[in-house]
Amino acid sequence: MARWGACWDDAGRWQARLWAPGADRVQLVLNGREQNMARDGDGYWSATAHPGIGDTYLFRVDGRLVPDPASRCQVRGVHGASVVTAAADFPWQVPWRGRDWAEAAIYELHVGSFTPSGTLAEAETRLAGLAALGFTAIELMPLGQWPGRRGWGYDGVLPFALHPAYGAPDDLRRFVDRAHGLGLMVLLDLVMNHFGPDGASLHLTSPEFFDPGRQTPWGAAIDFSQPAVRAYWTECAEYWLAEFRLDGLRLDAVHQIAGPGARQFLADLALRARGAGAGRAIHLITEDERNLPDLRQSGYDASWNDDFHHAIHTLLTGEDQGYYASFARDPMGDLALALARGHVEQGQPRPGRDRPRGAPCEHLPPTAFVNAIQTHDQVGNRAQGERLLALADPAGVRMAYALLLVAPYIPMVFMGEERGAQSPFLFFADYRGDLAQAVRQGRAAEFADDPSFGGAVPDPLDPATLERSRIDWQDQDRARPWLDLTRRALDFRRESVVGLLKSGRMGAEVQRHGRRGLDARWRFGAGTLRIVLSAGAVEDLPAIAAPQFRLGRPGMDPFALCASVEPS
């Protein structure tokens, strides 16, 4: 039985539960009728009732009415009543046991801007096209509810509740079932390190949920020393994995899951998440700016590798502000390091950085690194939301994109990248009143002193900002060569690289040629993958006699890449 929220037990009884250890009195208010709840020794309050599906309920905690912090359905906004949902009884059509992680080629997708309607139902109609290109996994940006209808999802306050702007829970189930029928895994981005600034009722019901001595950059830190707090998040993860047959989770900013109890929580979460798969392969990915191998050595499959992104970005754009500073000194050398060992920064001193970052990670397999040349973070956290094509030579972007897809690390593509999209991905939200004005002013102030982010910052509260961020599906002439490149590169990956990854890595060697040339070899049990590339200059490069994948002519074209696999 879940410790948090309101749900049906195996005997068909509906029980509502809330952890409020400091409260003197808690009542369940079901369809306006109040019922006292009983407290146990751990600070949980519970009541059994007999609602109908669609009935509404709230908790009254010491006289204050609040929605369920673990609400599974919240159609009247984050401050409104929670809704009683039926026990899951979806007619799944596809028998699915998952896929090997070595087969992952990820497509990161924001439901709200992916299609004109911004719904799961319309997104489902695009899955067949992505599968045909060779993608094998969809990573959904957060779905848990936040205030209003527009947002990225990282300021969610009801992490169990699918945002109704995207559709109903069965719409997500149909999306996943369709994806599985096409051979696509579905991963979900979950935010467990903070809540958004409006609508987090836990601040009222359970202030003990938060750590008074620590703040994250986005709000109050969470106290993972509390067993009830750990239970909240493990149950949240289990809910999404079990109820919607997801294939895994991407955990946002785990470096902010800190303090007493955090390590135990992350270890327990990995075990519980895999148990929730009911025999399916479950994959767990982290975002962790520390560049540490620890979690990937103890239950987690991979981590986002910003180092690869930063090396490519500085190489192609010449930008050197902010977190690009340490990568702008020798981006070609950093790219060679990223290709040879995954992370660039592994604890060594670096020009442009005040203190070392990271620890040795080259012993990890290539599948422990999720590489990208664009993500929602790196595009959307620019003032103008520019994609790489707006900042760099298109030929260079094509070379970098091909490298991403054929190199032995796990590739992730940001939606639209596969078709050469030029629409920005801007920051947008849907707050009201003083908070809306504070967000608007804060966003403008963030970039006020940075000359590299020219022009007025788009108003994140203006509905037009979301509209500008939608994928343009009509520009087929621009899309055609990018779609062809995507298909060819992912075909090569499927036919030649995946088998090597499954055979085990034995070593890597990356040689630099001139200023802008590389010759890389990765040895595996089943053979050697070789990539030769030029990245902005004509260099004297060794040739691959019969490349199985080619983009231009390395050594003759400024931006070009060839790849082949030599069997053992």
Nearest in space to 270 (alpha carbons), one of 233, 221, 223: 233
Q: How confident is the model at residue 314 (pLDDT cuts 50, 70, 90)?
A: very high
* pLDDT at position 331 over 80: yes
Q: How confident is the model at residue 1 (pLDDT cuts 50, 70, 90)?
A: low
**Do the domains spanning 5-83 and 504-567 agree at the CATH topology level?**
yes
Residues 113, 89 contacting (CB under 8 angstroms): no
Residue 155 in marked binding region: no
Per-residue model confidence (pLDDT) at position 451 = 54
- Rounded CA gap, 17 and 187, in Å? 28
User: pLDDT tens digits, residue range 373-386?
Assistant: 999 999 999 999 99
Percent of the chain with pLDDT over 90: 92
User: pLDDT tens digits, residue range 67-105?
Assistant: 999 999 999 999 999 999 998 889 999 999 999 999 999
Residue 128 in marked binding region: no
Q: How confident is the model at residue 19 (pLDDT cuts 50, 70, 90)?
A: very high
Mean pLDDT to the nearest integer, 241-245: 97
- Rounded CA gap, 60 and 25, in Å? 8
User: pLDDT tens digits, residue range 20-34?
Assistant: 999 999 999 999 999
Q: Mean pLDDT in the chain?
A: 95
Per-residue model confidence (pLDDT) at position 539 = 87
Residue 343 in marked binding region: no
**Tell me, what amino acid is at 101?**
W
Residue 305 in marked binding region: no
Per-residue model confidence (pLDDT) at position 99 = 98
Residue 110 in marked binding region: no
DSSP line for 201-212: THHHH-GGGEEE
Q: How confident is the model at residue 453 (pLDDT cuts 50, 70, 90)?
A: low
Tokens 């069965």 belong to residue: 170
Q: How confident is the model at residue 10 (pLDDT cuts 50, 70, 90)?
A: confident
- Rounded to the nearest 5°, which phi and psi values hold at 221? -75, 160
* pLDDT at position 278 over 90: no
Per-residue model confidence (pLDDT) at position 475 = 85
* pLDDT at position 44 over 90: yes
Residue 112 in marked binding region: no
Burial class (CB in 10 A: 0-12, 13-18, 19+), 34: exposed
Within 10 Å of residue 298's Cβ, how many Cβ atoms? Answer: 11
Q: Which residues contact 210 (CB under 8 A, 6 or more apart)?
A: 202, 203, 220, 221, 222, 223
Determine which of 11-15, 186-190, 501-505 has the lowest per-residue pLDDT on average. Answer: 11-15
The two tokens of residue 225 are: 């020393």
CA distances (Å), origin 298, targets 49, 257, 295, 362, 502: 41, 16, 5, 16, 19
User: pLDDT tens digits, residue range 226-237?
Assistant: 999 999 999 999
* pLDDT at position 222 over 90: yes
Q: Which CATH architecture has domain 504-567?
A: Sandwich (2.60)
List, in sequence order, the alpha helices (H) in 27-157. Answer: 111-114, 120-124, 127-133
Active site residue ranges: 252, 287
Residue 194 in marked binding region: no
Residue 434 in marked binding region: no
- Rounded CA gap, 4 and 94, in Å? 30
Q: Which residues contact 560 (CB under 8 A, 6 or more apart)?
A: 399, 533, 534, 551, 552, 553, 554
* pLDDT at position 452 over 60: no
For residues 290, 293, 294, 295, the Cα torsion angle rounded to the nearest 10 degrees is 90
For residues 388, 393, 395, 401, the Cα torsion angle rounded to the nearest 10 degrees is -20
Domain ranges of the chain: 5-83, 504-567
Residue 414 in marked binding region: no
User: pLDDT tens digits, residue range 113-156?
Assistant: 999 999 999 999 999 999 999 999 999 999 999 999 999 999 99
- Rounded to the nearest 5°, which phi and psi values hold at 530? -125, 135
The two tokens of residue 538 are: 């004509």
Per-residue model confidence (pLDDT) at position 450 = 66
The two tokens of residue 166 are: 């995207």
Per-residue model confidence (pLDDT) at position 121 = 98
Mean pLDDT to the nearest integer, 403-419: 98
Per-residue model confidence (pLDDT) at position 510 = 97
List, in sequence order, the alpha helices (H) in 407-520. Answer: 433-446, 463-468, 476-492, 498-503
Residue 378 in marked binding region: yes
**In CATH, which of 3.30.70.330, 2.60.40.10, 3.40.50.2300, 3.10.20.30 is domain 5-83?**
2.60.40.10
Per-residue model confidence (pLDDT) at position 447 = 87
Residues 71, 158 contacting (CB under 8 angstroms): yes
The two tokens of residue 232 are: 């909240």
Per-residue model confidence (pLDDT) at position 446 = 87
